[in-house]
């Protein structure tokens, strides 16, 4: 045996011994809190008021509901009224929404299969029902770029929101299609 092997064996035994020592010390010593409790500490300004002491057991003490006088100022009240949905959305029934979702899904699947003309036809139908569908606008732009139709791509590109425009600009640049912002 070389000196190196002997030193490694001694080091391994020392680590093992320290591990055993720590294991038994941790299990034998109960945990205690290090922070002292102070009874003279004043309550914070934003803390809810203390409950009055009663002779009842703690489980029987009534907790007051928070109101403006007991709520910290960081709590926010719910909005007074919820804005009404746009008239187009309110007019659609659950069945119409499901049909629109199915139509959008069909357009996405056609695009994924590489059937760009079919994807554009289906996306166009969906856009007639929901002209603000970013998902369908992206399909129209991207499929037009792949087909090399920069006129149609530009038309649909201008209807996209700015973050999506940037993504479409990068994607269509691969196919040699560039856009104007007017």
In the prediction, which pLDDT does 20 show?
Answer: 92
| Cβ neighbours of residue 116 closer than 8 Å, sequence gap 6 or more | 110, 143, 146, 147
pTM score of the predicted model: 0.49
| Residue 9: per-residue pLDDT | 95
d(CA 100, CA 130): 8
Structure confidence at residue 18 (pLDDT):
94
In this predicted structure, what is the pLDDT of residue 69?
Answer: 53
Task: Look at residues 129, 161, 167 and name the one whose alpha carbon lies nearest to residue 145.
Answer: 167
Residue 3's pLDDT is 93
176: left (phi over 0), alpha (psi -120 to 50) or beta: left
- Distance between terminal CA atoms of the chain? 82
Q: Helix or strand or coil: residue 169?
A: helix
pLDDT by residue, tens only, the chain of 182 residues: 799 999 999 999 999 999 999 988 888 877 666 655 555 555 555 555 555 555 545 555 555 555 555 555 555 555 555 555 555 555 567 788 888 888 899 998 999 999 989 999 999 998 898 888 889 999 999 998 998 888 888 888 888 888 888 888 888 888 888 888 77
What domains can be seen in the chain, in order of their start residue? 91-173 (1.25.40.10)
Looking at residue 5, its pLDDT comes to 93
Q: Quick one: pLDDT at residue 58?
A: 53
Rounded to 5°, the CA angle 23-28-33 comes to 105
């Amino acid at each position: 045996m070389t000196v190196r092997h002997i030193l490694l064996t001694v080091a391994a035994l020392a680590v093992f011994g320290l591990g055993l020592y720590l294991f038994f010390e941790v299990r034998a010593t109960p945990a205690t809190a290090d922070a002292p409790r102070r009874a003279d500490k004043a309550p914070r300004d934003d803390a809810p008021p203390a409950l009055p002491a009663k002779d009842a057991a703690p489980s029987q003490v009534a907790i007051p509901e928070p109101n403006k006088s007991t709520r910290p100022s960081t709590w926010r009240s719910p909005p007074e009224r919820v804005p009404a949905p746009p008239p187009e959305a309110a007019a659609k029934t659950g069945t119409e929404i499901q049909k629109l979702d199915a139509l959008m899904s069909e357009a996405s699947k056609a695009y994924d299969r590489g059937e760009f003309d079919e994807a554009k036809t289906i996306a166009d139908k969906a856009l007639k029902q929901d002209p603000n569908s970013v998902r369908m606008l992206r399909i129209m732009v991207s499929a037009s770029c792949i087909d090399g139709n920069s006129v149609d791509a530009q038309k649909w590109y201008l209807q996209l929101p700015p973050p999506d425009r940037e993504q479409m600009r990068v994607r269509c640049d691969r196919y040699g299609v560039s856009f104007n912002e007017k």
